Amino acid sequence: MPAKWIEALTGSLEQKKQYKQCKARLEALPEPYCTAAKAFERYFMYYGGVTDGDTLIKMLGDFADLWERAAVDGTPVSAIVGDDPVEFAETFTSAYGGTRWIDKERARLVKAIEDAKADGRR
C-alpha cells in the first residue's frame, strides 16, 4: 500500500530502477564510448523531453544496447554518429513516440490563444 502512494507522487519505482540500470550500463562502457554515450544521454534529457516513463526506458535501453554492441565490435564513434552528432541525437529520439514536454506546452499555447480569441469576441 505505501509503495502505491509513493509511486502516485514520484512515478514508477520500477522505472526508476530500470533508468538507473541503463545509466550504469552507459557508465560501464569503455572509452571513448562512455564519454560519447553520456554526452548523448544528457542531450536526450534536454532535447527529447520524454514524459512517458515506458518510452524513456525503452529508448535508453536501446541506446545502451547500441553503444555496448559498438564497444564489443570496436566500431568507431564517428561511424555511429556520423558527421553531425546533433542530427544523430535528434533522429534517434524522434524514432521513439510518447508524450514530450513540448507537446504539453504546444497544447497549452493553442488553448491560451483560442481562449484569447474567444474573449475578444465578447
Q: What is the pLDDT of residues 99-121, one digit of tens each?
A: 667 778 888 899 999 999 888 76
Alpha carbons 28 and 48: distance in angstroms, whole number? 23
Considering Cα of 60, then 42, then 11, then 14, what sign does the dihedral take? positive
Alpha carbons 64 and 82: distance in angstroms, whole number? 18
Give the residue from 112, 89, 101, 90 showing the smallest Cα distance to 38. 89
Query: Structural domain boundaries of the chain?
Result: 2-120
pLDDT digit string, tens, across residues 24-36: 999 999 999 999 9
Q: If pLDDT is split at 50, 70 and 90, which confidence band does 15 have?
A: confident
Residue 48 scores a pLDDT above 90: no
Decide: pTM greater than 0.85: no
Alpha carbons 81 and 89: distance in angstroms, whole number? 8
Q: If pLDDT is split at 50, 70 and 90, which confidence band does 39 have?
A: very high
Q: Does domain 2-120 have CATH number 1.10.3720.10?
A: no
H/E segment holding residue 43: helix 33-47
